[in-house]
Structure 1
């Protein structure tokens, strides 16, 4: 070959090699490289930043219960749970053991007893107290005894039936609940929980039964100078706390409480090793392998939803699906798809978190012996086929390997949030996280009690770890989850959802319906959420932890004068949100009526406050 031909040949080879390199670089840019960390909206602060002493607040409410009545005892627990989230100071009196104090010492009374006959003449005194400016909430429907009948007219009731009513669901008649109007929310397992009754015309009915009868479920009545709220829902569970709390917010001229203001979406087991082979339902609908489906259909569809609605995904890494429970732990060398999906997630505004070296919950044999009454020993073994770790040292070593693996793949990712496999976490493992892994700042498990799962509230634990529970899950949002989402939007102004890539493979999680149906059902939920709360903050898992931390410590002392509503905030750290229900004399101009913050009208007398200062003043509107 002469020199000219050799030169041309080498030139072509060089151009081809250069083309391959440039193509690889572009693909790397698209899928892997040059991830630039985004500015954190809400950082997790050091515990020392907050004053741990609660502020001096007036005890505003008297709660009347009877520990010898099953419904009343249950209501007592629910009210305590609600008031701890609303930051309400209350005194509790047990009618079976104590005398009723004077009503005049309180602004509000919550009556949560079944049999009003035990109140005697104090029942009519309570109605008189309301007439003189008091505020009364009937927390659940009582027995229709003689004393209740004697005060029922004052409560706005025209007639009470003999039978309780099975409530199929709830329907909004006003803008009382954020996200409630225009949609029925069904009770998953209804029972006879509500009084069958009719009302006088001077009642404002906010909620009715979701059927042709439209039985009054929650109403308010102005009685002389005071207010009565009757909660005829009768179902008292954690999933409905936001509904009961909203009823309480109708009492008085105004009521403000701190909220989280955040929406987060978690992808558990992502990135993780992709299942090999085919799936019956994916093969049926797409004719491709699981691997290709995740790459070419599932993930692009999720990114489209993220772009459309602004939601940000949090990928919770599983390094391997082996069953190894004894150190040393073998690193996973097959990292290409981890890099592909993880880098794409990060570049699209998401965050990487920790899930597990494998999917075996961090539990030693016998971890559930300390579970309380009602737990049946052996439940974990019966429901899960995981087994146990050999020692605390093995659990710690597995976590160290997961952290090493994640940091190597995504060195700029914080990986500060941990999601327990199957939402199961033992006390021993939790202590390991708190003591041995200072970079882990938050745990995200579940909000509602399961069989053996780690159940949380939105709070900061004594060891400083932030508890950020997930409320709903999956693609097929069932009636219970719809009601829970409605409740939490109105209680904490929060959304927290998790899903798994293999949901699309599991018929118990909706796979038989097909991915298109599953995706559509998720989008229906997103459309509802962002239609109800278009300005809710889309947060990563660590930002959600920062928002929960601020919410947990933030408190407000409220004063209402003739012309103003004044809020004095404690533990305000430059980022704080509150909801406020203003009952009458609604501000006319939300932009000019407030100092120390920003006010957004959410409808139905409900406003969102973005605090800019620890002292906030809202000018009230006219009559």
Structure 2
């Protein structure tokens, strides 16, 4: 009897000990890896070259004319200027009275951005192109006297109503999907035209020619039958259409891809999600740990991603101090579990917020549709940010926080000041590249120093979601075409939201997500997977680099100063020409034979590209 009691006591003690160990194991899952949470920044070697011997060849000159009274034309000019700067292409303004002295040149393009061009003599314009000049019309305008110059056989005036959608007849850059007529991403005001047989159509909308080229005399015209040149969503198309006007054109690529996971780590919903329960029979937290994260870790290994996770403390709407500390099983449990795993994959942790209330005061714009509670003042915001930063540093003391994503992409000047005061290590704000809304509040950004506070660099997201529709694919491809960058964005709870997931489970969404990753790495293998902080570091180096390109009929020379190596360039040549490059300088890859587009992956800052005759493209 005594022996049985001893055995029973041992069994009970063992069970209790095992339970305690399991509980301890659970509580220590935040630290399954070495305690060092320091971040090893990626280094990017720079290269500089001497000037080309004798300065052979001509630089590409883009001469932009906009009537000072043409508001729409000035907007197109501003949008085009941003796109050209990102592509490392220089441009100059030209006045109407100076166009008469513009010498025709195959590597000089006169660019008209607006509809008010009455100050330009049409006879002079025709003579300029006829003698070998190159002309790009970026906004359609009605000028019957110039129909033949523009490649129009008939011009019946303006079509009634807007024309939506876009069809790629001839490729400008690899990867653009067609947009159906039901898609309103581009809403074009167009001329009703019939083109001359020699005109070469690249894009159509609703069956109407949208972008075409036309040879006139010894010169060439590129014509946009559209008023959408003001849109960020088409910057890549604008840049590459200029390459159709010039005899040849080189643009640069930053070569970056990032993937942000917003609201991560964050407290997991306590309620069971119907989609997750039906598909996996698990609680939400179990699904995140066992299924979702296992797939995300696999994707990181297979496709090289280095995720940036943006932490959030809670989902309460309290904004008035004193704010409760972020303790207990909610925020700390998920941060302890996922944080080390993300860092182990080479990722970084950044901030999303103490809670999901945007950093705005009552005097700043806040879309009413969000039903958010503004913060009373900058000090209250700073208190919340400090509490989240303290929680992060308690687990990852050697990991500096650099990146901040505003909840719902809304924040004001006061919020930026609060970040600077509370978490001075943060120097990157990542919001939206294109807001696509007239509602006041969403923070739309360019890539570069923040206009309100120069200590921050803006690194906006371009696309989002596990399942990209044709609009997301289009915009993402356009940014790659413009300057070679992907910044994609997902939430863990996109899977849980029936609207965001379109009612599909994770098995379907993860397969679509992986299809997108495979397409991206297969089509653009030169895009380097980086965290946000390393992407910003590389992008600043790219933006500060200086690239001089000179052109002749049979040679292109590139000289780069302080440029990250390896470097990537796109090269558009006349159809039938092929570039050759010494092997020690880099590699030449054909991208779009039908449009003469090539990619150069350079390992040296000085390139000597020889142009050879090849087979005509189909």
TM range (shorter): 0.7 to 0.9
Q: How does 1:93-112 map to 2 (within 5 A)?
A: 100=99, 102-104=101-103, 107-112=108-113
SS of corresponding position for 2:115: coil
SS of corresponding position for 2:192: strand
1:363 aligns with 2:360: yes
Look up the match of 2:447: 458
1:34 aligns with 2:28: no
Deviations 1:147-194 (A, max 9, x none): 23xxx33333333344528544223333421213xx423462264533
Q: Which has the higher mean CA deviation after the structures are superposed, 611-620 or 26-35?
A: 26-35
SS of corresponding position for 1:512: coil
Alpha carbons 2:202, 2:211 under 8 Å: kept: yes
| CA distance in structure 1 between the aligned counterparts of 2:561 and 2:29, rounded to whole angstroms | 46
1:271 aligns with 2:265: yes
| CA distance in structure 2 between the aligned counterparts of 1:124 and 1:363, rounded to whole angstroms | 56
Q: Closer, same or farther in 2 for the Cα pair 1:431/1:19, shift >3 Å?
A: closer
Using the TM superposition, give the Cα deviation of residue 439 of structure 1 relative to its aligned residue in structure 2, in angstroms.
Answer: 2.2
Using the TM superposition, give the Cα deviation of residue 446 of structure 1 relative to its aligned residue in structure 2, in angstroms.
Answer: 0.9
| CA distance in structure 2 between the aligned counterparts of 1:599 and 1:13, rounded to whole angstroms | 70
SS of corresponding position for 1:621: strand
Deviations 1:418-442 (A, max 9, x none): 1122222221222343466442232
Using the TM superposition, give the Cα deviation of residue 306 of structure 1 relative to its aligned residue in structure 2, in angstroms.
Answer: 3.4
| CA distance in structure 2 between the aligned counterparts of 1:605 and 1:355, rounded to whole angstroms | 44
| CA distance in structure 2 between the aligned counterparts of 1:609 and 1:441, rounded to whole angstroms | 33
Look up the match of 1:127: 126
Look up the match of 2:488: 497
TM-score normalised by structure 2 residue count = 0.82
| CA distance in structure 2 between the aligned counterparts of 1:2 and 1:32, rounded to whole angstroms | 42
Look up the match of 2:204: 208
Look up the match of 1:350: 347
Deviations 1:208-257 (A, max 9, x none): 34x6x4x4332334444433222234423111111111101233233233
Q: Closer, same or farther in 2 for the Cα pair 1:169/1:307, shift >3 Å?
A: farther
Look up the match of 1:510: 501
Look up the match of 1:50: none
Alpha carbons 2:199, 2:212 under 8 Å: kept: yes
1:179 aligns with 2:179: no
Match of 2:154 among 144, 159, 163: 159
Q: Which has the higher mean CA deviation after the structures are superposed, 578-587 or 129-138?
A: 578-587
Alpha carbons 1:415, 1:440 under 8 Å: kept: yes
1:170 aligns with 2:166: yes
Q: Closer, same or farther in 2 for the Cα pair 1:432/1:29, shift >3 Å?
A: closer
| CA distance in structure 2 between the aligned counterparts of 1:563 and 1:26, rounded to whole angstroms | 67
| CA distance in structure 1 between the aligned counterparts of 2:28 and 2:402, rounded to whole angstroms | 26
Match of 1:336 among 330, 333, 336: 333
Using the TM superposition, give the Cα deviation of residue 94 of structure 1 relative to its aligned residue in structure 2, in angstroms.
Answer: 6.9
Q: How does 1:403-418 map to 2 (within 5 A)?
A: 403-418=389-404
| CA distance in structure 2 between the aligned counterparts of 1:486 and 1:154, rounded to whole angstroms | 32
Look up the match of 1:541: 532
Unaligned residue ranges in structure 2 (runs of 5+): 47-57
User: Over aligned residues, Cα RMSD in angstroms?
Assistant: 3.9
Look up the match of 1:373: none
Alpha carbons 1:44, 1:545 under 8 Å: kept: no
Match of 1:217 among 194, 210, 228: 210
| CA distance in structure 1 between the aligned counterparts of 2:26 and 2:281, rounded to whole angstroms | 29
Alpha carbons 2:538, 2:564 under 8 Å: kept: no
Q: Closer, same or farther in 2 for the Cα pair 1:130/1:535, shift >3 Å?
A: same
Alpha carbons 2:158, 2:189 under 8 Å: kept: no
1:301 aligns with 2:295: yes
Alpha carbons 1:269, 1:355 under 8 Å: kept: yes
Look up the match of 1:196: 192
| CA distance in structure 2 between the aligned counterparts of 1:62 and 1:620, rounded to whole angstroms | 26
| CA distance in structure 2 between the aligned counterparts of 1:520 and 1:502, rounded to whole angstroms | 17
Look up the match of 2:55: none
Alpha carbons 1:551, 1:576 under 8 Å: kept: no
Unaligned residue ranges in structure 1 (runs of 5+): 46-56, 369-379
Using the TM superposition, give the Cα deviation of residue 92 of structure 1 relative to its aligned residue in structure 2, in angstroms.
Answer: 3.6
| CA distance in structure 1 between the aligned counterparts of 2:35 and 2:301, rounded to whole angstroms | 18
Using the TM superposition, give the Cα deviation of residue 270 of structure 1 relative to its aligned residue in structure 2, in angstroms.
Answer: 0.3
Using the TM superposition, give the Cα deviation of residue 487 of structure 1 relative to its aligned residue in structure 2, in angstroms.
Answer: 1.1
TM-score normalised by structure 1 residue count = 0.81
Deviations 1:367-392 (A, max 9, x none): 34xxxxxxxxxxx1512222222332
